[in-house]
Structure 1
């Protein structure tokens, strides 16, 4: 009897372990902010009812899509991640590439099945996000190889997340909601370059033209800091002038923090070089939490 039971338990444990590693490869901190964006996106449309099981299913569908896309990105990044000393599951060899592909395929299948339960625009949004993910990660002309193209694709994916959530709810999306999504996406397009600090050696060896690779780390910090100032100033102005956009004041406050951290980072320590990215992510979380709280209060 035991000779039959134990192998099954071992198989289940192995599968569970691989799924857990795939989740880590999908970057939980990124999945978390995408979940926040989707929830905020539904609340940008007046009358969203979060007691509806449909909204929960749509959220799960979107997050499965995001997870699959980031898992595929992890597969495509293995060589560069190893050169940069990354400890991610794929780069460290803890998760095998065939297993990662299989899990990504299962995630995409589940996400599309759930998306098919909703009106066609939502399904098309899911397919568009998958397409953006492939454009970003796969092939000799992958957008990730060029700094501007990479962040432009990422920003479109963020804007699409807010839009897809609104499509599930239906109704009319206000101009202020579109502006909010556009500013939030601009934070990605500009301040998102902070993710490349600390990865110069691996990115250069992998043929990527990130800002630190093209300009050098010091000059890239100045450029990113200047861009951050422009985005945060715009967010501050819009938040102060338009009541419906008051939560953008959070980015206005986060901007100076990111600027200081970006300009002071460096010294060859990879952990230190990643501080600007962590402050950039904190700004995203703060913005979306503020928007969520603001929508619940109103």
Structure 2
């Protein structure tokens, strides 16, 4: 059987989408890490929820979210194409590292996703378009040579924090209004949580690959033990600071702050535990960090609903 379907009544030929194209798209979405795409969407929607007013158009927020997710796919696909050596040393099973997705194909889909993000962003207005373009540029500087900011620990943290702040800002812009102090506090607290806790714990299981690729992550510079002690200190400090700020400045965020503080204590406990075991065991603090993120953002939505 061929790849065409003929409709006898009208003689219309309908061309099937090649199976390889569908497979490549699925692999690209997998390489872009669905769990990360989901948390970026939740950050965006939280920004929109904190900026929500009676005049907010839900369809506009949804269109903005689609544009932002396209930008996220671009950033993480590009990152995947630049991390092949480290991923293979670390035993990653993501599509590019495993050979299931050709690097050239991933780059082609990344370009399409980036252009789609810009086109949709342009339809959202100048402010949103600038945010999308800035986010794409940040992702490019992070992964693409000769810049590759990912190879420097300080630059990595700065990129992660800035990318988080831009996501909340874009969500707010899509809603049409600023969320005031609660939105600013949430954006800063969660972005610092991403940069100072998430960006460090993510590398606990990747030290060998990062060292082989020449990356100077916190775990490479301080050693895994030193990086764990740093996270065990920073996570509770951030949780306590968020709680204190929420209690005094933004009561609507108290539920989110409680979740963050409890999650910070769990992360600290896991980071101080023995780092023995395989890569999966070493990534337990990062999984706790991710779970806390989801819970914290759910806490924001609960606080707004009460």
TM-score (norm. length: structure 1): 0.94
On the 8 A contact 1:72/1:104 being kept in 2, the answer is yes
| Alignment map for 1:143-154 (pairs within 5 Å) | 143-154=149-160
Offset of 1:158 from its aligned partner? 0.7
Cα distance change on mapping 1:229 and 1:266 into 2, 3 Å: same
User: Which residue of the partner structure matches residue 236 of structure 1?
Assistant: 243
User: Would the alpha carbon gap of residues 174 and 139 (structure 1) be closer, same or farther in structure 2, given more than 3 Å must change?
Assistant: same
Task: Pick one of 41, 44, 48 that aligns with 1:38.
Answer: 44
Per-residue CA deviations over 1:106-149 (Å, capped at 9, x if unaligned) read: 11121111111112000000000001101111123411101221
CA deviation after TM superposition for structure 1 residue 241, in Å: 2.7
Call closer, same or farther: CA 1:99–1:50 in 2, change over 3 Å: farther
Question: Are 2:113 and 1:104 aligned?
Answer: no
Are 1:216 and 2:223 an aligned pair? Answer: yes
Please report how far the alpha carbon of residue 3 of structure 1 lies from its aligned counterpart in structure 2 after TM superposition: 3.3
Change (3 A) 1:48 1:221: farther
Q: Is the 8 A contact 2:252 2:300 kept in 1?
A: no
C-alpha contact 1:238 1:245 (8 A) present in aligned 2: no
More divergent stretch after superposition (233-242 vs 146-155): 233-242
The answer as to whether partners of 1:119 and 1:168 remain within 8 angstroms in 2 is no
Contact residue 265 and residue 272 of structure 1 kept, 8 A: no
Q: Which consecutive unaligned segments of at least 5 residues does structure 1 have?
A: none
Let me know the Cα RMSD of the aligned residues: 1.6
Aligned residue among 236, 259, 262 for 1:253: 262
State how many pairs are aligned. 294
Task: Report deviation, 1:4.
Answer: 4.6
Please state how far the C-alpha of 1:290 moved relative to its aligned partner.
1.4
Specify the alignment match of 2:10 in structure 1.
none
Shift of 1:52: 2.8
Structure 2 portions without partners, runs of 5+: 6-14
Q: 1:43-82 to 2 correspondence within 5 Å? A: 43-47=49-53, 52-82=58-88
SS at match of 1:29: helix
The aligned counterpart of 1:283 is 292
State the TM-score, normalized to the length of structure 2: 0.92
Structure-2 separation of matches of 1:117 and 1:51: 14
| C-alpha contact 1:265 1:275 (8 A) present in aligned 2 | no
Most deviating of 227-236 and 192-201: 227-236
Aligned to 1:140: 146
Report if aligned partners of 1:265, 1:276 keep a CA contact under 8 Å in 2: no
State the shift of 1:64 in Å.
0.7
